[in-house]
Amino acid sequence: MERLRARSVDARTQCVLTQCVLTLAGGIGMMNTFQRRKAMTIRLRDVLRLILGATVVSMSMSAAQAQTTLKLGHVSGDKGPIGSAATRLATALEALSGGELKIQIVARGALGGLNEHWAQLRTGALDMTVVDVPAVALMKEGRSFGALTTPFLFRDQGHLRSFGESDLFASMTAGLEQATGIRFLSHVGERAPRALATTRQPVRSVADLQSLKIRTPPSPMVQKVFQAWGAVPTPTSAAEMLTALKSGAVDGNDLDVLAVAHGRSIKVIKYFTPIDYARASIGAWISSVRWEKLDERQRAWLVAAAQAAGRDGQAGFDQEVNAALAKIRAAGIEVIEPDIASFHPVTRKIVDAFEGKVWPAGTVARIQSMR
């Protein structure tokens, strides 16, 4: 269809140019020899300008027709870890494809929350999303990803990256694609370790969490964790978070330092406690409905762009985290040195409650044993 349209444009251009040449030639034929020579010099220049202009227009129209735009929705701001990952992906894709394949980013949950995004990806109403990998657990077919929210599952970022490259992770994403039609492309970034950001009082140990209303994502696992720590988990959408913190509907949030530093809640947060209880990579996902419409070149560009975004994210991770810590301190937020050991005892209870029921037995042990 695109080739037919391009041919149609070329045919119309040739027709217009032919008519211009014939008209000019007819006018010249009615002049004397001197007039003809002068007119031919002037009018030939005009014809060349017409040809050049028509060629540029034709090429521009053909390029516009060949361009494909993918709509990517996410729930974060433009400058946080998710927003930055989406931007890196879009920039890399446009460069690799020479502008033939582009991404339109729709941020801040303008297309709905996480559940809406997953539903839209299933049907093809949304082409792509960028989100924390554990968020897949919101879908019933992705419940095994709930194991990734086990407190203190990963020792450090290196451990997290090893898991992301493992056969176990590959089998989990393959199963998800088969069940939902949502395809994993690549890790495009990393979250800083999740911590506690509070407004009313500092949290130095698990005892300080007693009865605090903490905003959590709508994950059963995360809610169980905070309940075990004595807090009152209060699921709130990302779009409503700032209002909830200002009004006192919640006393704090489980956020990473990058989200605090680059988010709107930096205006109201007073204390930041880096308990580092959860680590997660940020994944890029595409609807199989859209994937099937892409040709092999476009698919290769998309995967390569996602991988490049991930490499760039890893390369600047430590520097970005340190800069974010400096930024929140400069904003007047007190960074608390926590008693992390006081948070550990609940881990075994959580694993026992979910292991073999929500995810396959032995999953947590397999991940923790990776090097």
Q: Quick one: average pLDDT of 197-213?
A: 96
Least confidently predicted of 58-72, 145-159, 251-265, 275-289: 58-72
Tell me the pLDDT band of 33, cut-offs 50, 70 and 90.
low
Tell me the pLDDT band of 221, cut-offs 50, 70 and 90.
confident
Checking if the pLDDT of 47 tops 50, the result is: no
Q: Quick one: average pLDDT of 281-289?
A: 98
Residue 244's pLDDT is what?
94
Least confidently predicted of 55-59, 114-118, 240-244, 324-328: 55-59
Residue 66's pLDDT is what?
76
Residue 54's pLDDT is what?
46
Instruction: Tell me what the pLDDT averaged over the chain comes to.
Output: 86
Tell me the pLDDT band of 17, cut-offs 50, 70 and 90.
very low
CA-to-CA distance for 241 and 252, rounded, in angstroms? 9
Q: Quick one: average pLDDT of 1-13?
A: 42
Checking if the pLDDT of 214 tops 90, the result is: yes
Checking if the pLDDT of 79 tops 80, the result is: yes
Three-state secondary structure along the chain?
CHHHHHHHHHHHHHHHHHHHHHHHHHHHHCCCHHHHHHHHHHHHHHHHHHHHHHHHHHHHHHHHHHCEEEEEECCCCCCCHHHHHHHHHHHHHHHHHCCCEEEEEECCCCCCCHHHHHHHHHHCCCCEEEEEHHHHHHCHHHHHHHHHHCCCCCCCHHHHHHHHCCHHHHHHHHHHHHHHCEEEEEEEEECCCCEEEECCCCCCCHHHHCCCEEEECCCHHHHHHHHHCCCEEEECCHHHHHHHHHHCCCCEEEECHHHHHHCHHHHCCCEEECCCCCCCEEEEEEEHHHHCCCCHHHHHHHHHHHHHHHHHHHHCHHHHHHHHHHHHHHCCCEECCCCHHHHCCHHHHHHHHHECCCECCCHHHHHHCCC
Residue 53's pLDDT is what?
55
Structure tokens at 204: 């130095």
Residue 350's pLDDT is what?
80
Checking if the pLDDT of 237 tops 60, the result is: yes
Checking if the pLDDT of 304 tops 60, the result is: yes
Residue 235's pLDDT is what?
86
Q: Quick one: average pLDDT of 303-314?
A: 98
Residue 318's pLDDT is what?
95
220 or 25: which leads in pLDDT: 220
Checking if the pLDDT of 30 tops 80, the result is: no
Residue 49's pLDDT is what?
62
Residue 45's pLDDT is what?
56
What are the pLDDT digits (tens) for 137-194?
A: 999 999 999 999 999 999 999 999 999 999 999 999 999 999 999 999 999 999 999 9
Q: Quick one: average pLDDT of 72-93?
A: 94
- 340 neighbors 273 (Cβ within 8 angstroms): no
Checking if the pLDDT of 2 tops 80, the result is: no
